[in-house]
Structures are given as C-alpha cells and as structure tokens.
Structure 1
C-alpha cells in the first residue's frame, strides 16, 4: 500500500511543482503583457523595445524569434543567462590569456619594471646601462630576454581582453548577461590607466562581475571590494591603522634627541613621511559610499568616511609572488605559516587577504552603528549595512532605470524598483522584473529614448550587418575615436550614461565616419556581405537601397521620415567627391549640403575619413551597385543617421 501511495504521491508533487512554476510564468507573462498593452504598444513594438533595452542590437530576425517563443519566455531565458554559446566559445579559443588566474598573469605578463629587475639580476642587462646608450639596442635586449623566459608584453593581455568583450557583446546568445556585465563593471569601475591594478582587471570582470550580475547586490559589492583590481585602484591595499598614541610619543622623543643635526633631521622626516604613507587611506571608503552604495546625497558625513576607512584597514592583497608590495607579506607568511596566521585572525580568500596586524582595533561608529574589535567581520558587516541602506536602494535602482528606461526615468518606476530592492534583499533579477512589469518602462516616451554609446553603436552595427569579426580589436580603435576608450576611463565614476555626454558635433561626425568605413569594408578584419542581407537582390537605385536596407538595419520602425531626410544626401551627384575631398584634406570637414544639415541633428559637416585609410568609393558620378560602392554609402549613411543612434 505504501509503495502504491509512493507511486502516485511523487508524480503528484512533481506535477504540482510544474503547475506552480507554470502559473508563475503565466503570472509574469500576464504582468508583462498587461504593462505594454496599457502603454498601447503592439506586440511587435513591445518586442523591439525589449530587445533594444536588453541586447546590444536588434537583428532583423530577432523580433520574429522573440514573438514566436513569447516575450516572457525570451526574457526568462535571458535572466537565466545560460543559453548555448558554442559559436562564441569557438571564436574565443585563440585568446589564451583571458582564462589565466591573477598569479598566472603576473608570471606571464609581468610589469616592465619587474622584467628589467629580472634581466639585471640574471646578468642579461647591465644596470649601469639603463637609460644610457642606444635605446634601440636596449629594447632589443629586453625583447630577447622576454622571449628566452617566455614572458609577454602586458599590451597583448589587454588586446585579448578588449577583443573578448567585443566578441561576447556581438555573438553571445546571453545578451542580457553581457549588457549587465558592462553596466556593473561601469558602476564598480576600475581602470587600465592605473598600472598597479591593470593586470588584475581581466579576472575582475570574469570572476567578480560577470558571475554576479543576476544575484544579490551585497554579494556583488563584497566581491568587488575584495578584488585585487579594486584594492589597488582605490588604494585600500595599503590602508592600515594609524600610529598609536604611544608610537606618536616615541616619535616626539626622537625629535628631541635629534636636536639640530641636519642629517638626522632629514632621516627622521623621511621616516615620518613613510609612516604617514603607510597609514589610513580613505579613498575606497569615500567611493564605496558615494559611488557604489549610498550616493552623493546618501546621508553620510566625512566622519563616517574616516570611520569606515578604519573599519576596512587590513583588507589587502594575498601576495602571488615575492616581488613588489606583496614581497613583505610573503616573507611573513613563509616565516610564520598560513595556519598560525589564520589562528591570529588573518583571512585568506583567493587573491584577498585580511591582515589582522594592520587592522585598527579601536571602536568606530559609521552611520550611527558601532563597530568594535571584530577583525575581518567588521568590514563585512559594514558592507552589508551599506548594501541594505534605503539610500543605496534608491541610488542603485535609479542607475538601473537610467540605463534601461531613459535618461530621466519617472519617480514612480524608481519607487517601485526601490521597494523591490528593499523587500527582495537587493535581488537584481527581481528588480529587473519589477522594472519590466511597470507600465512606465513601456511608455511611448521611453521608446528609442536612449542614445547609444560608441561601444553600443559599434556592436549594434556589426550585429545588424551580420559581420564576421576576424580581428575584433580593429573595432576598438573606432570605438575609442568615437569617444569611449573601453577600460581606460580614469575616474571611479565610470562612463556617464546620458545622451549629452556622447552627442556633440565632433562625435556625430566620427559616427558617420565609422558607418561609412564599416559599410565600405575599410575596417581591417571585419567582413561584411551586404548583398547577402537582401538575399543577393540588387536594389534598382540608391533610394530603393535606402528603403530596403533601412528595414534590414532598423527593423519594425517607421522609416518614412528617415528616408525623406536621407534621400537628398544620397542623390547629391557630388557626394563621393565631397567625401573624397574632405578625406584627402584630413582636416576639418566641409559642408555637404545645406538641405541635409538636419541629418546630423545639428548644423554639422560631412564625414571625414580616418587618417591612413583609402578613399571611399571611386568617382564622383559612379552609381553602380556592381562593386557595392554606392550600396556601401547607403548603408554607411543609415548607420550614421540620427535614427540608428537611438535604442
């Protein structure tokens, strides 16, 4: 009898679970559908908007595919972020550096100063010859030494790292994961401009940011805090307790004993500067409040910053070799032993180390909460407190809304998202669902309200043209030229996320340049077959090409105004000549046509070809599609048009 009951009971449990899950999906689906129906959007308009917000570019087939599977199912797949990515993985196979641990990176891609020290130690270079004699010969010796030791320049590491980002954004089926990886990296920004942290940035994005983009905000916050990239970038790796009163009194006694001896005074001054440099560093404590959690108006004071910095003393790097800063710690670890240090309160966690001997053991008060002598746990408790603060909830959800809704999201949608942040323990996935189920997300005013960053423009362009990126790094030069030097933004704020930062006359010209260069296949290593996008059917004229390729590149949009705006530009008999003239001068561009000034959203000039590239097109009067010259101009103008700049 029990066996019989078990036979029926287990399937019933499974069935009930399936029913519950199905009803959950149905409920979500109803909420999502109801939200965009309230905004009076059609299914296709809703699909386009969802794809514009949660991918790096809508391809012509994407809308039909999303509608076929159902928008809610499409969104759920994206929120899981585990779709098959075999094509992407095949493209990434040759990038061997992007999977290295931080220790392996230090070993294979060491800093230049370390290579020099190694070469001098091994007798490969005479230390007295450094910065003297033939620089070419000196560089050749260093290169020979690197080859002999199997060392590689750090620039190669960064090249692979940047290339993998471009490939992931272009080809990953898990588009939302990549969009969120970019968003959260920008929020917790670190920069290749700071040499100490640069080599740790690839692992920072791979192991800290990307795995946590759908999780809880507090986990993401704590993980970034403990990363070597962040510890070096905002200097917390060197922060330690200031001198005790007893140590300060001892320094005073030494000053009295020194008297007027100039040599001893100079030595003492050097010692004092060294002590000061090794003391409390408030950089990270300030930025974790202002930029990562509470926001500039989050209700904290300078005293809170100082107290928080004291709480986080001793949070540093677990050394991976005996060179540089980590050398001193490594000697302590080797001498005392890891087990004994852990007994004394040290914490080893991958590349992170909590050094108990550097921690401020006194009482601290941050935002009214007292932190006593509790070692590593103090820092965790502080970060948890900041992560769950109502000011943090509002600040973070506002940034998410600015990224996914519009430059000026309504207070009502921010309030809804903030409420979810607080009630769902900072669950990022739940916050996104609340946003998508809000009618404000689907407002007519929100459609194509966001302006693409240079990176978004470049990736959406190659996605819409079904490009084959054989050398993805070539795109990086253009993205940089358009104003976004990826991973090199120096300030901890990260790149701004509003239109006024990206759009000005010079930027628009560079965007048009990019469109023409891409479509004309002037970007090395980026292969495009424009004819295949239209099933190898040749348009009868430039006007016909504009309509046909406009629909391919910007699907499900009303292009009547776009065609009207761009047609006079394409029918200008001197178009190619004017582009060639502007390109050959390589200086300020010349006006293309008074009647087309509105094409670039302002009184701007025609595109200027980047220095070093060949001229676009052939002759001023050539209108043939046989060699794709005019078709390339049509496609380039579409990509450079104001409409394509929006998502």
Structure 2
C-alpha cells in the first residue's frame, strides 16, 4: 500500500508539474485579452491598429480575418512566424542568387574591374583594345568571356536582393517577421555603397538577420558581428594586434623573403614589389576602432550608454582577429586561403583559430594582452573574449533601455511614454533579451493602445509603397519598378551609407517635395502607369461602380483605410476629385523638386539601370506630359483618380 501511495504521489507531482509548466508557458505567451477597451477602442479598431503596427499594411478584408482568428491568437501566430507562404515561395522561385551562399555569390557575381583584369590576363582582352573606339565589340567580347566563365553582373544580384525584399513585404503571411527583418537590418545597417561588403549583403539579411528577429538579442548581435558584410562594412576584418611581437612576426617573414630573393638575384622590379609588400604590411596592420565604436553607440549601449573612448579602444583590442574566412579563389591572389588549406584546420584549431562558416578568428592577429571594458577584465582568452564582450553588452542595462526605446519608436510613436519604456526595458533584462517577450510586454501595455499612439507614425517611402499595393491587392509582376518609385520618394533600399540606418521619425521623411512625390506615386499606381503592377479596382468593391467621385471617395476610403474616422480627410480631399488636370499638375510640380540621388556616384551600373527604367516609361507613354487613359481591367479615369488621391493623402501616410 505504501508503495502504491508513493507511485500515486509521484504521478500526481508529475501531472502537477506538467500543469504548472503549461500555466507558465501560457503566462509567458500572455494568453489574455489586450487592453484596448481601456482606450475606448472597438475590437475592429484594435484589429486595424494591430495590422498597422505589425504588418506592412492591411489588405482588403484583413480586419475581418484577424477578428475571426482572435486578436491575441493572431498576434501569437505572428510571433511564431510559422504560417505557410506558398504564394510567396512561388514568386521567389526564379531568384537563384538568393539561395546561394557567400562563396557561390563571390564566384558568380564578379565585379566588373575583376572581370576585366582576368580577361586581360587570359589574353581575351588586350591592353590596346581598352582604348579602341569599337566599344560594342569590346563589350561583346567581355560579355562572351563572362558567359563562358559563368559570371553574372553584380547589378543582377542587387536587383534580385531588392525584388525579393519587396515581394516578401507584400506577400508574406508572416508579416511581423518581415517588418522586424526590415527593422533589425536598419538597426545593424550595412550598405551596398561600400563595395567590399556589398556582395555579402544578401546572405547577411537571409542568415544573420531574418532567422534571429524574434529570438534573443544576444544571438542577433553575435550573428551580425560574425557576418562578412558587417566585418567589411565597419572594417573589423582588418583589425589586428599592435603588439611588437606580432609586427615583427609579419614583417620578419617578408624581410626574409626579400633576403632570399636578393640572393637569387631578383630583378629590380620584383624587388621593389616585395619592398612595397613590406610597406603595405606595416600600413595595413593595427587596431581599427570603427566597429567597436559603432557596436557600443549604435548596436547596444547607445550614445548615452555610459562608455568612454578608452572602452572603445579596449573593446577593439578584444575583437582583433575577428575576420573573414577567405572566399573563392577566382581572383588568383587569395594566398591566405591556400595557407589555411595547407596547414589544415585541425592544426589551426590547436593554435586557437576558430572557423565557423564564413567567419574566421585569426589567433595570430589577436591582441592577447589584458584589456578592461566597462570595468570587466579580459585576460587573453582569444576568441572567447569576443563572445564574452558581446554577452556583456547584450545584457547591459543601457542596452535594455536603448534597444527597447528603439522598438517602441518603431511600433508605438516617435516619442513613446516613459512608463512604457520602463516596462519594456525591465522585460528585456528579466527575459534575457528575448525580443518576443519585449513585444508581448509592449502590446499588453495600455500605452500601446492609447489615443496618443494611434496612427502617430509616418510611413517611410518603402512602407508607403508596400502598404499601397497591399491595400488594393496589386499583382506585382515587376517589383523593380516599385523599387525605382521608392527610390524616387527618397529611400534607396540597401544604399543608406551611414551605420545609423534610415531615421525612424516623421521629420526625416516629410517635406513639400516628398508629399508631391507621394501623391504622384499614388496617382501613377492607381492609374496603372507603373509597368508590371496590375490592379483591379472594381473588384475591390465587388464590381459595383460608385455613382459619383464623392461616393467613390467614401467607399474606397473605407476599403483602403479601414476603421478610421474619414470625415475630416474626405472633406479635405473632395476639392481634388473633379480636376481633370490633377495628375499632370502633380507630375509637373514633383518633377521640379529635387529627387532622391544615387548615394554612390561611381555606381555606373545603377545609373544605367535608372536610365533603362526611364526609357521604358517613355516607351509606355509615362513621361510627364502623359495623362493615363486607364484602359486596363477594372479601372476607369474617375476611379483611378479617387484611389490615387486616397493613397497620396496625408491620412494614408500615417500608420
């Protein structure tokens, strides 16, 4: 009997433990009602607010879809990011570059100067031919050479990168994951304008950013730190120990080569080349503080995070040796890769080297002296020092405040209340930097639902373009056309040069020229003057055509901007309805404003791409003198103008 009682007691404890675990899990997921009623919102208004914050804009009928699932369950589904995305995957099938690893990209999308160098070395192009007038024949020869080698121009890589971002934002069912991918990429910004890192950006976004956007902040931080894109963008790949022993080691090897070559009667030219190598070795050695500074100021602690310049220097010493594993040997100059292969990874690991994917910790370049960062001492532990540094930064109280405020600015308002920031920062610290838990704390806070947080954000050009095509169920066949409009409105995707990323406040995006370009975009989209973007406006209203422009404004205003009080907005927009020259007037005024310029003046491929798009628009009758006749399915002039006005309106710019 005693034995039976013990078994019964054990079973009871087990059941109780399972129940308790289930309760804790449910509590962690906050399976309780959102407090939107405290702010006086209806359930429909609350659903619309969720969609405005955690998607790239509501699609027609999506408020009802959220209500059918339940607000809390819908949000938890978004946090899980596990919804099927069959339609999106079909649209991404042809994007082969987006499935490649970094080595494959480097081998395939070779830079034009490198192609020219290789073609010259192979005798396909002679130096004399570079000055010949027959540019067409010269280009054909190079194109044939690239095709023979299996090379593709880099502009195709960047086109695929931009296109897939647009398609994911428009069609993914896991909208929160895409919104956060955009947010965290911007936080850990890298730029195509820095050519050394440009080719690594697709894998950076795919493998370092997207898989970690709903995980622990520490994991996201370390993943970005090890990425070739970040290592090159902020120059840590070249940062090395400045201790005399290391310098003597490097210079000594080259000096020995010079002595050996001199004994073998090396030619003057070759001897000078070796001398230059010694000079460059000295020049390229040394500490680079760029990444250490930005990882503290921009990625973790914030500018007021309590660190000093000495902390930056010491952190840079900790991160010496964090570099890139050599990629493909197409350039025929990758001596480091051959050295690593000759020595063997097992022997290198014994010496403290660490190789993980494209990341390499080069122990011979690491400063093994003692360092002190933010009061913590690092005592020559090689690679482990860097990991410990990131762990410390990720869990620092200043990081909790800085990161959660940035999240609140993105999802609540430009100036979120301190009471909300305190709650989010506490969760960040208590939950080990768990991004999901921070978001749950935010969305369960009354401040998130307050009237001061409703529609208080201004859309960036990217957000405007994506929300526009989502709001009218557009079928996107040519996403790059949308990219050029986003660029025209002032946001050139992947090209922002500064490590800060694009600002996330209204004052950066809105001025007279920007508003004109946004209205111009709305009119162009609605009248189907953007090639490859197909819409059926009548289908949005079950093929019932409104009796007048005023009726259309009310009907389509409710479809495109659900659950909003539109009375004041419609009153302001009404005078524009019956102006037959509206499109032409807006186009002419917008053309007079300074449009977004290329951030990399040397990027001739992008300039050529823009010229191609411009010529395409002219061929299709889309220059500024053109007024659309809108003959496509489900479209008429009146309806196009009404929808264009709605999309270009100040109310639609808000989210």
TM-score computed with the length of structure 2 as normaliser: 0.87
| Residue pair 2:537, 2:635 contacting (<8 A) in 1 also | no
Counterpart contact for 1:59–1:555, Cα < 8 Å: no
Provide, for residues 482-540 of structure 1, a one-character-per-residue CA deviation record: whole Å limited to 9, x for no partner.
11100110100000000000000000000000000000001100000001001001110
- When residues 646 and 14 of structure 1 are mapped into structure 2, their CA distance, relative to the original with a 3 A threshold, is farther
Residue pair 1:617, 1:630 contacting (<8 A) in 2 also: no
1:462 aligned partner: 469
Contact 2:119 2:142 in 1 (8 A): yes
**Are 1:428 and 2:432 counterparts?**
no
In the other structure, the counterpart of 1:74 is: 74
The answer to whether the 8 A contact 1:225-1:231 is kept is: yes
Question: What's the CA shift for 1:326?
Answer: 7.7
Contact 2:323 2:361 in 1 (8 A): yes
2:365 aligned residue: 358
**Aligned partner of residue 502 in structure 2, secondary structure:** coil
Deviation for aligned residue 1:272: 4.9
1:211 maps to 211
What does residue 40 of structure 2 align with? 40
Pair 578,53 (structure 1): closer, same or farther in 2 beyond 3 Å: closer
Structure 1 contact 317–326 (Cα < 8 Å) conserved: no
**1:630 and 2:634 equivalent?**
no
- The answer to whether the Cα contact below 8 Å between 1:319 and 1:326 also exists between their aligned partners in 2 is no
1:399 aligns with 2:406: yes
Residue 579 (structure 1) aligned to one of 573, 583, 591 = 583
Equivalent residue for 1:154?
154
Q: Which residue of the partner structure matches residue 102 of structure 1? A: 102
SS of alignment partner, residue 636 of structure 1: helix
- Which residue matches 1:188? 188
The reply on whether 1:559 has 2:566 as its aligned counterpart is yes
Indicate if the aligned counterparts of 2:420 and 2:442 stay in contact, CA closer than 8 A: yes
Following superposition, the deviation at residue 39 of structure 1 comes to 2.0
Q: CA deviation at 1:371?
A: 1.0
SS at match of 1:130: helix
What's 1:130 paired with?
Answer: 130
The alpha-carbon deviation at position 8 of structure 1 amounts to 13
Please name the residue that 2:141 is paired with. Answer: 141
Checking the alignment, whether the CA contact within 8 Å between 1:471 and 1:524 is kept in structure 2 is yes
2:600 is matched with which residue?
none
- Please, which of 309, 316, 322 is the counterpart of residue 316 of structure 2? 309
Partners of 1:164 and 1:480 in 2: CA distance: 16
Farther off after superposition, 448-457 or 554-563: 554-563
Output the aligned Cα RMSD: 3.2
User: Superposed, which structure 2 residues align to 1:470-481 within 5 Å?
Assistant: 470-481=477-488
Number of the residue aligned with 2:446:
439
Does 1:232 find its partner at 2:232?
yes
User: How many residue pairs were aligned?
Assistant: 610
Aligned-pair CA distance for 1:370 = 1.2
Contact 1:236 1:316 in 2 (8 A): yes
**1:644 paired residue number:** 652
Distance apart, 1:136 and its partner CA: 3.5
* 2:119 matched residue in structure 1: 119
Judge conservation of contact 2:314–2:373 (CA < 8 Å) in 1.
Answer: yes
CA drift at 1:328: 2.7
Which deviates the most, 132-141 or 473-482?
Answer: 132-141
1:374 matched residue in structure 2: 381
User: Quick one: structure 1 residues 169 and 192, their matched pair in 2 at CA, closer, same or farther if it must change by over 3 Å?
Assistant: same
Distance 1:311 1:368 in 2: 14
1:509 aligns with 2:531: no
Aligned to 1:284: 291
Q: Distance in 2 between matches of 1:426 and 1:536?
A: 49
**CA–CA distance in structure 2, aligned partners of residues 150 and 247 of structure 1:** 40
2:415 aligns with one of 379, 393, 408? 408
Q: CA deviation at 1:97?
A: 1.1
**Local SS of the residue matching 2:372:** strand
Q: Please give the secondary structure, in 1, of the residue aligned with 2:542.
A: coil
Deviations, residues 238-264 of structure 1 (Å, cap 9, x unaligned) = 11111417958999xx9xxxxxxxx99
Q: Do the aligned partners of 1:519 and 1:632 also contact (CA within 8 Å) in 2?
A: yes
User: Does the Cα contact within 8 Å between 1:454 and 1:479 map onto a contact in 2?
Assistant: yes
Runs of 5+ consecutive residues of structure 2 not aligned to the other structure: 256-268, 594-615
Within 5 Å, give how 1:476-495 maps onto structure 2. Answer: 476-495=483-502
Query: Is 1:320–1:326's contact at 8 Å kept on the other side of the alignment?
Result: no
Deviation track 1:560-594 (CA, whole Å, cap 9, x = no partner) reads 111111111113xxx223533564798538xxxxx
The separation in 2 between residues aligned to 1:117 and 1:269, in whole angstroms, is 21
Return the alpha-carbon distance in structure 2 between the equivalents of residues 408 and 77 of structure 1. Answer: 28
How far the C-alpha of 1:300 sits from its partner, in A, is 1.1
Q: Deviations over 1:25-57 (max 9, x none)?
A: 488666542x22222222112111111100000
Deviation at 1:339, TM superposition (A): 1.3
Contact 1:88/1:172, CA 8 A, preserved across alignment: yes
Find the aligned partners of 1:235 and 1:363 in 2 and give their Cα distance: 23
Between stretches 238-247 and 498-507, larger displacement belongs to 238-247
TM-score by length of 1: 0.88
Which residue does the alignment assign to 2:59? 59
Distance 1:392 1:232 in 2: 24
Structure 1 residues 146, 329: CA separation in 2 closer, same or farther (over 3 Å shift)?
Answer: same
1:576, 1:616 within 8 Å by CA — same for their partners in 2?
Answer: no
State the partner residue of 2:163: 163
Q: Which residue of structure 1 aligns with residue 592 of structure 2?
A: 588
Q: Is the 8 A contact 1:520 1:616 kept in 2?
A: no
Comparing 411-420 and 364-373, the one that deviates more = 364-373
Q: Which whole-Å CA distance do the structure 1 matches of 2:72 and 2:290 have between them? A: 43
Alignment partners' CA distance in 1, 2:24 and 2:284: 60
Residue of structure 2 equivalent to 1:598? none
State the SS of the aligned residue for 2:580: helix
Indicate whether 1:300 and 2:307 are aligned: yes
